[in-house]
Chain A
Amino acid sequence: MPVTTSSERGPDLHTPLSGVPLTHGQLPRYAAQFTLLAAIAAGIALTLAGWNPAASAIIAGAGYVVVIYAWSRTVEGPRKARDRLVTAVVTGAFLLALLPLVSVIVTVVGNGIARFDVEFFTYSMRGVVGEGGGAYHAIMGTLVVTGLAALISVPIGILTAIYLVEYGRGRLAKAITFFVDVMTGIPSIVAGLFAYALFALVFGPGVRMGIMGAIALSVLMIPVVVRSAEEMLKLVPNELREAAYALAVPKWRTIVKVVLPTALAGIATGVTLAIARVIGETAPLLITLGITSSVNLNPVDGRMATLPVYAYYQYVTPGVPPEPALERAWTAALTLIIIVMALNLIARLISRLFAPKTRG
C-alpha cells in the first residue's frame, strides 16, 4: 500500500509519551493572509520605487514563501512549516502557469472582438475583397469535418480502450497499447499526407474532400481517445467489477452498466480534449481540404473551408491593406475557442447528469 511506503517521519514509538508535548504551537488564524498582504504591499512598494514589475512580483512571492516558512517552523514545527511551504509553492506555480494562459486568451479576445459581429457569422468570403466578409463557410466546414472525425474516432477509441482494459491479455493487447502510444506521436502533417496519399490512390491526384480531412483528424484523435479512456477505465476500482460478476452479471453488461458509467466523467473529459486537440489542427487540413471562399456542406465533394485553415490563410496572405484580413484571422480563432467551449459545456452537463456519484 502506498500509505506505508514512507514512514521515515512517522512518530517514534519508543519515546515515552510523557516526553512529547500534547499541544502544538499554532500560527494565528489570519497569519497566511496577513503575510500575503504584507508581501503584496512590499511588491507594490518596490514597483513604485522604480523596479521592474515582474522582478518585484518575483521578490514579493519569494518573500512570502520565506517568511511564512520561517514563521511556521519556529511556531508550529517543521511538518506544518513544510505543509505551508508546499501550499505556497503549489499556489504560486499555479498562478505562474495561469499567467501565459490568461495572456493568450486576452490577446485572442482583444484582437478578435473587433470583427465579432453578425456579418462574420452569416457571410462567407465569396466575392469579398478587403473589408467585410465572414467565416460562415469555415465554421460549417469545421463542424462537419470535426463531427465526422469524432464520429469515426470516439467509438473506435472507446472500444479499443475497453478491449485493452477488460479483454486484452497477451501479445495483441501489448502490441495495441504500444502502437497507440506510437500513434500519439504521428506529426499532424504526416497524418494529412497519409490521408491524401490514400485518397489520391483511389480518386487520382488533386482530390480534395471533407471526408479526407476527417480521416486525417481521426488518425490524430483516436490515440488521444484511447489513452485517456484507458487511463480512466483502469482507475475504476476492481471491487465494482467483482461485485457485478458476483451477482452473475455478464461481462459485457458489467462493462456497459458499471465500468463505463463510473469512468464517464473522465472519458468525457478525454473525448473533449481529443476534439479540442484536432479542431485547431491546421497542417493536415491544409493538404486534404484546401480552402474555398464559398459554402460547401458536402463532405464527399470538393474543397471545404475550415476555421484553422481560414485563419491561417487570412494571416499568411492578407491583401492590401492587411488589417481586415488579420482581424478576420483573430476572430476565427476566437470563434474556434467558443465552439470548443460550447462542446465542453455540453459534455460536462451530460457527464454530470448521467454519471453516478462516486465521491461526495
Chain B
Amino acid sequence: MRKGSTVLPSTERTRSRRAPQRPGDRVFSGLSTGAGVLILVVLAGVAAFLVAEAWPALIAPADEVPGPDGIVLYIWPLLFGTLLAAFLALLIAAPLAVAIALFITHYAPRRIAQALGYIIDLLAAIPSIIYGLWGIQVLAPLTVEPAGWLEENLGFIPLFAGPASTTGRTMLVAALVLAVMILPIVSAVVREAFRQTPRLHEEASLALGATRWEMIRMAVLPFGRSSIIGASMLGLGRALGETMAVAIVLSVSGGVTFNLISSGNPGTIAANIALEFPESTGIAVNTLIASGLVLFAVTLLVNMAARAVINRRREFSGAN
C-alpha cells in the first residue's frame, strides 16, 4: 500500500511533465507522417512496376534478349559506362562546386555574391537537352585538338590511349557536360549550408587570429561537411540518371574501356533506354526496363554508402 502510493505520483509526474498532446499537434504530426508514408507507397509502386516489367527479360533465354550474349553482357557495358561517366563528372564537379560555394559565401563582395548565386541557380534550370546541344556544338569541337595532344604525349596512360576521336564526341566530353550540368545543383545546396554556419564560430576563430582560410577550414568546412556529401550524392544521382544530354553527346559503340578520348565508348543505361525505347517491342522493352532496375539498384547502393558517411558526421548538424 505504501509502496504503491510512492510509485503512483512519480508516474503521474512524468506524464504531466510531457507536453500536452493538443489536437493541432496530432493533426500536424499525422499529416507529416502521412506524407512520408505516401512517399514509401509511391516508391514501392515504382519498384513493383520495374520488377514486374523487368521480370520477363530476366527469365528469358539468352538468345531472345537483344545483344548477342544474353542480358548480363547486354547491361554490363552500359552499367560500366554509366558509372564511369557519373564518377568522372562528380570528380570534376564536386571540388569546383565547393569552390564556387566558398567564393560566393566567403570571398566575393556581398552585393556581387547575391547576383552570382542567383545566376548559378538559374543554370540548374537549363534543360538537359540544351546541355547536350551545347556539348556537341561548342564543347566537343574544342576538345579535338587537346585530345590529339593527350594521345600523343600521354598515350601510355590507358585513359588517353586513343585513337583520338575526330569529332570530339567522347566519354571525356560526356563527363565534362555532366559535370557542368550538376555543378549548379551541387553548389547551390553546399552554398546554403555554408551560409548557415553559425556566425559566432566564424567570428570566434577570426578573433583568435585565424586567417580567412583557417577560419573556413576550422569552422565552415566541418559544419558543411554533411551537406557537401549530401549535395554530391544529389549530383551523382542526377549524373547517373541523366538521359538526353548523354544521348546527344556520346558516341556509343559498345565495349568496356577506360579510354576516354576515342569514339568507341560504352553507353549509359539511361541514354540507352531513351535511344532504344521508341523502336523497341516485346522482350526488348523488358530488357530496357531491367537495365533501369539495375540503375535503380546502383543508386540505392551509392546512397547507402553516402548515408553511412553522413551518419558518422552527425554531430555537426544543428538539430542533434
A interface with B by C-beta (< 8 Å): 2-3, 5-6, 9, 79-80, 82-83, 86-87, 89-91, 93-94, 96-97, 100-101, 103-105, 107-108, 155-157, 159-160, 162-168, 172-173, 175-191, 193-194, 197-198, 219, 222-224, 226-228, 231-238, 245, 248, 250-253, 255-256, 265-266, 269-270, 272-273, 275-277, 279-283, 307-308, 311-312, 315, 333, 336-337, 340-341, 344, 348, 359-360
* B-side contacts of A341, CB under 8 Å: 122, 125
- Asked if B125 contacts A336 (CB within 8 A), the reply is yes
* B-side contacts of A270, CB under 8 Å: 189, 192
Interface assignment of B7: CB less than 8 Å from any CB of chain A: no
What is the CA–CA distance of A336 and B195 in the complex, to the nearest angstrom? 29
Of A107, A226, A283, which is within 8 A of B274 by CB? A283
Interface 9-residue window, one of B30-38, B61-69, B162-170, B250-258: B30-38
Of B40, B198, B243, which is within 8 A of A179 by CB? B40
- Asked if A198 contacts B212 (CB within 8 A), the reply is no
What is the CA–CA distance of A190 and B290 in the complex, to the nearest angstrom? 11
Closest 7 CB pairs of A and B: A185-B299, A280-B127, A93-B99, A276-B125, A340-B125, A163-B32, A159-B35
- Asked if B32 contacts A237 (CB within 8 A), the reply is no
- Asked if A5 contacts B218 (CB within 8 A), the reply is yes
- Asked if A189 contacts B19 (CB within 8 A), the reply is no
- Asked if B205 contacts A276 (CB within 8 A), the reply is no
Q: List 29 A-B contacts (CB under 8 A).
A: A2-B201, A2-B316, A91-B103, A93-B96, A93-B103, A101-B123, A156-B39, A163-B32, A163-B35, A163-B36, A167-B29, A176-B40, A180-B39, A181-B233, A181-B303, A184-B299, A187-B269, A190-B46, A193-B49, A198-B45, A235-B317, A251-B19, A276-B121, A276-B125, A277-B124, A280-B127, A281-B127, A282-B244, A312-B129
Interface assignment of B55: CB less than 8 Å from any CB of chain A: no
* A-side contacts of B204, CB under 8 Å: 3
Within the complex, the shortest CB–CB distance from A337 to chain B, in Å, comes to: 6
- Asked if A333 contacts B121 (CB within 8 A), the reply is no
Within the complex, the shortest CB–CB distance from B122 to chain A, in Å, comes to: 6
- Asked if B299 contacts A232 (CB within 8 A), the reply is no
Of A186, A197, A311, A344, which is within 8 A of B127 by CB? A311
What is the CA–CA distance of A255 and B317 in the complex, to the nearest angstrom? 18
Interface 9-residue window, one of B8-16, B131-139, B151-159, B259-267: B131-139
Interface assignment of B4: CB less than 8 Å from any CB of chain A: no
Interface assignment of B193: CB less than 8 Å from any CB of chain A: yes
- Asked if A93 contacts B277 (CB within 8 A), the reply is no
Within the complex, the shortest CB–CB distance from B118 to chain A, in Å, comes to: 7
A2-B218, A94-B100, A280-B126 as given contacts; A187 in contact with B19, CB under 8 Å: no
Fill in one digit per residue for B180-203: 1 if any A CB lies within 8 Å of its CB, else 0: 100111011100110110110100
Fill in one digit per residue for B17-28: 1 if any A CB lies within 8 Å of its CB, else 0: 001001011011
A-B contact count (CB 8 A): 323
- Asked if A231 contacts B230 (CB within 8 A), the reply is yes
Q: Who on chain B is nearest to A226 by CB? A: B39
Interface assignment of B50: CB less than 8 Å from any CB of chain A: yes
A178-B303, A178-B304, A184-B299 as given contacts; A234 in contact with B317, CB under 8 Å: yes
What is the CA–CA distance of A248 and B199 in the complex, to the nearest angstrom? 28
- Asked if B223 contacts A2 (CB within 8 A), the reply is yes
* A-side contacts of B125, CB under 8 Å: 275-277, 279-280, 336-337, 340-341, 344
What is the CA–CA distance of A188 and B129 in the complex, to the nearest angstrom? 13
- Asked if B134 contacts A189 (CB within 8 A), the reply is no
Secondary structure type dominating chain A contacts: helix
Interface assignment of B102: CB less than 8 Å from any CB of chain A: yes
Interface assignment of B295: CB less than 8 Å from any CB of chain A: yes
Within the complex, the shortest CB–CB distance from B51 to chain A, in Å, comes to: 12
Q: Who on chain A is nearest to B247 by CB? A: A283
What is the CA–CA distance of A176 and B36 in the complex, to the nearest angstrom? 6
- Asked if B96 contacts A96 (CB within 8 A), the reply is yes
- Asked if A187 contacts B292 (CB within 8 A), the reply is yes
* B-side contacts of A272, CB under 8 Å: 121
Beyond A197-B53, A255-B28, 15 additional contacts (C-beta under 8 Å) are A91-B107, A97-B96, A101-B184, A108-B130, A163-B32, A164-B36, A173-B36, A176-B36, A184-B233, A187-B270, A189-B292, A219-B42, A231-B189, A234-B320, A311-B129
Instruction: Say which size band chain B's interface belongs to.
Output: 35 or more
What is the CA–CA distance of A104 and B180 in the complex, to the nearest angstrom? 9
Interface assignment of B73: CB less than 8 Å from any CB of chain A: no
- Asked if A160 contacts B211 (CB within 8 A), the reply is no
What is the CA–CA distance of A108 and B122 in the complex, to the nearest angstrom? 13
Interface assignment of B289: CB less than 8 Å from any CB of chain A: yes
* B-side contacts of A9, CB under 8 Å: 214
Of A179, A233, A252, A283, which is within 8 A of B319 by CB? A233
* A-side contacts of B118, CB under 8 Å: 344, 348
What is the CA–CA distance of A215 and B180 in the complex, to the nearest angstrom? 28
Of B35, B188, B274, which is within 8 A of A189 by CB? B274
- Asked if B24 contacts A250 (CB within 8 A), the reply is yes
Within the complex, the shortest CB–CB distance from B234 to chain A, in Å, comes to: 6
Interface assignment of B273: CB less than 8 Å from any CB of chain A: yes
What is the CA–CA distance of A141 and B176 in the complex, to the nearest angstrom? 32
Within the complex, the shortest CB–CB distance from B166 to chain A, in Å, comes to: 19
Q: Who on chain B is nearest to A215 by CB? A: B42
* B-side contacts of A107, CB under 8 Å: 133-134, 137-138
- Asked if B128 contacts A280 (CB within 8 A), the reply is yes
* A-side contacts of B298, CB under 8 Å: 185
In chain B, positions 97-113 with a C-beta closer than 8 Å to chain A are 97, 99-100, 102-104, 107
- Asked if A177 contacts B307 (CB within 8 A), the reply is yes
Interface assignment of B91: CB less than 8 Å from any CB of chain A: no
Interface assignment of B60: CB less than 8 Å from any CB of chain A: no
- Asked if B188 contacts A183 (CB within 8 A), the reply is no
* B-side contacts of A228, CB under 8 Å: 189, 192
- Asked if A97 contacts B130 (CB within 8 A), the reply is no
* A-side contacts of B284, CB under 8 Å: none
* B-side contacts of A269, CB under 8 Å: 121, 188, 192
- Asked if A184 contacts B234 (CB within 8 A), the reply is yes
Q: Who on chain B is nearest to A347 by CB? A: B121
* B-side contacts of A183, CB under 8 Å: 39, 42-43, 46
What is the CA–CA distance of A91 and B296 in the complex, to the nearest angstrom? 37
